[in-house]
Amino acid sequence: NKISGNPNSYVNKVDYVFGRTLGAGAFGVVRQARKVSTGENVAVKILLKKALTGNDVQMQMLYDELSILQKLDHPNIVKFRDWFESKDKFYIVIQLATGGELFDRILQKGKFTESDAATIVYQILKAVEYLHSRNIVHRDLKPENLLYLTKEADSPLVLSDFGIARELNSDDELIRKAAGSMGYVAPEVLTTEGHGKPCDVWSLGVVTYTLLCGYSPFVAESVEGFLEECTSGRYPVTFHKPYWSSISEEAQDFILQALTVDPLRRPTAVKLLEHPWIAGKTTKTDNLL
Ligand code: ADP
Ligand code: MG
């Protein structure tokens, strides 16, 4: 496989003292830990082999997650540190983000000012631009997977959870098997017509909408309901009054572009970084990077 060697994998675990649980996921938990030899506090994603083995697809996904994470080096992407395994578990050691999920800040604040939202979206766009330039599609971009490095209000934001990320063999390779999170997933992912990089831009559009008004653009609970919503005559997405009355045309245009149903007509992350709402409103971002 593509994971770089780790001959001491059974031994390395001894160097970590495990602490509190940071989050629970589909295949296990994420716990805080301290690397004794360096004193660094880290996050460790612990995956139960029992939940993985007997299923080659899931094993392959673990290797994909590890091999993708290992390659990434960007200020807005969580950093890989180490990995090891025991008899019944895999451990993925990552940089600790102590500031919590963007999801929780949305719950706390209700919604963000346009300037704060643009600063957040800019950082996500930089992460996505970086991934896409390396032919990596994240496929699970949502506020639960966007973490603040510190508790400060202006902490840098990092994209995490490469659990269903995929590395494409070419720019335009299409993935057929649906994966993602309801509410954030792009329509072309669900129709299984084939999806690639544009699906991350759609999810970014959903996140942007949510940041600005505090609620989701898509409320359908079923795949059919959602597909019907975004292909019906009522689409494009609705900016309900009075919630959107004081939100700029530029912000709404940004969202409309990101939420373009046809993935071939949806702008790329590079293109959206040039959008006036992003290019004009993010004054504070340069000293974040
Ligand atoms: P899953 O694939 O199960 O969703 P995630 O990688 O998203 O797993 O981790 C689940 C949760 O654990 C995250 O939503 C977050 O709250 C927490 N978490 C994950 N990685 C870190 C980290 N590096 N620092 C702090 N908390 C983290
Ligand atoms: Mg997650």
Q: Say whether the ipTM exceeds 0.85.
A: yes
Read off the pTM. Answer: 0.93
Measured in Å, residue 53 CA sits from the centre of ligand 1 at 21
pLDDT (tens digit per residue) in 265-284: 999 999 999 999 999 765 54
Q: Would you state the structure tokens that stand for residue 198, as one six-digit string?
A: 């544009």
Report yes or no: 264 and 246 within 8 Å, Cβ to Cβ. Answer: no
Average pLDDT over residues 212-241: 93
Would you say residue 289 has pLDDT above 50? no
Q: Which ligand is located closest to the Cα atom of residue 78?
A: 1
Substitution site in 160, 162, 164 for ligand 1 pocket (most atoms within 8 Å of beta carbon) = 160
Would you say residue 170 has pLDDT above 90? yes
β strands within the chain, DSSP E: 16-24, 28-35, 40-48, 80-85, 89-95, 136-137, 146-148, 157-159, 166-167
Catalytic residue among 140, 154, 253, 286: 140
Q: Kindly report whether the peptide bond that precedes residue 236 is cis, defined as omega within 30 degrees of 0.
A: yes
Average pLDDT, rounded, for the chain:
91
Q: Whose CA is nearest to atom 23 of ligand 1?
A: 96
Q: Which ligand is located closest to the Cα atom of residue 27?
A: 1
Would you say residue 11 has pLDDT above 80? no
Q: Whose CA is nearest to atom 11 of ligand 1?
A: 23
Local structure of residue 260 (DSSP, 8 states): -
Atom of ligand 1 nearest to the CA of 96: 24
For residue 94 and ligand 1, the question of a CB distance below 6 A is answered with yes
Binding residues: 45
Atom of ligand 1 nearest to the CA of 78: 23
Would you say residue 205 has pLDDT above 50? yes
pLDDT (tens digit per residue) in 35-64: 999 999 999 999 888 766 666 667 777 888
Give the C-alpha separation, 167 to 53, whole Å: 22
116 catalytically annotated: no
287 pLDDT tier (thresholds 50, 70, 90): very low
Report yes or no: 64 and 113 within 8 Å, Cβ to Cβ. Answer: no
Report yes or no: 227 and 155 within 8 Å, Cβ to Cβ. Answer: no
CA distances to 27, 58, 86, 89 from 49, in Å:
9, 10, 9, 5
Give the C-alpha separation, 212 to 116, whole Å: 9
